[in-house]
Structure 1
Amino acid sequence: MGNLGALDMYNIPRVCKECGGVMVFKGVGEYRCEDCGAVDYDDYGKVRGYIEEHKGATAAQIENAVGVSQRTVRRLLKDGRLEIAEGSNVYLRCELCGKEIRSGQYCPECEIKVHRNLEAKQRELMNKNARGFGFEQKGEEGQKRFRREE
């Protein structure tokens, strides 16, 4: 899923609740109306604001306080936008090796492996697709490759 798709999952305010104006992103999950200046927050902004004041809050507490579902809180953790507090007895698990992690999908070691594997596949695809230019193909020696039919 691309970044735009991920951002759409977090209930971004697009229309001002006060005047119907256009909401403009100001950073860290905050949006401000172009017309009346009203402020609203996407799910990330709501969750972040709450945990800044209530360190160590659980997903259930966050859901009850700001109305953002526990599922969305878990997605924010997996996307690496939030991190489980240090000293917490709750952890995520690396999707490859099962090691305890506080944020994201992979532990640092597996993250490196995943990126190296992706880079290798990308190089392989680029090398595979680069063939054809500058390489001689059977039966085409000295012939024009592109002919205009008239």
Structure 2
Amino acid sequence: MSEITNCPRCNALFMKNKFRDVCENCYKQEEKMYEKVYQFLKKRENRAATMATVINQTGVDEEILYKWVKKGRIQTKLFPNLGYPCDKCGKIITSGKLCQGCADSLKKDLQQYEANNEWKEKMKEQGTYYTSRDK
């Protein structure tokens, strides 16, 4: 669904949709930058380039490069040293929203939460009441 919003790059009004998150002018600029990055990465000697190297050599903005990797326009299978930050800790990842460490931590927290709820339900069924002190 489209909505009218301000472009995050130039503040111009535009119709945001699932295909574009910037205005037409910024989109054209991004496409020119993408072509520059693509030409850089397509050279055999640059396929193992890091994010910092790509940014320094092409002048592309770090956030835009992250966006392209996240959306799959730049495939990490072909360029293994590229990625984007984990939403929780900032570690560079190549898929999903969380790194493995943060995902494992979240799973552990959810399991603990479920175990606590099961214990509370069991105590209710037995007619046992408890209190907890929050400090």
TM-score by length of 2: 0.41
Q: Larger C-alpha radius of gyration, 1 or 2?
A: 1
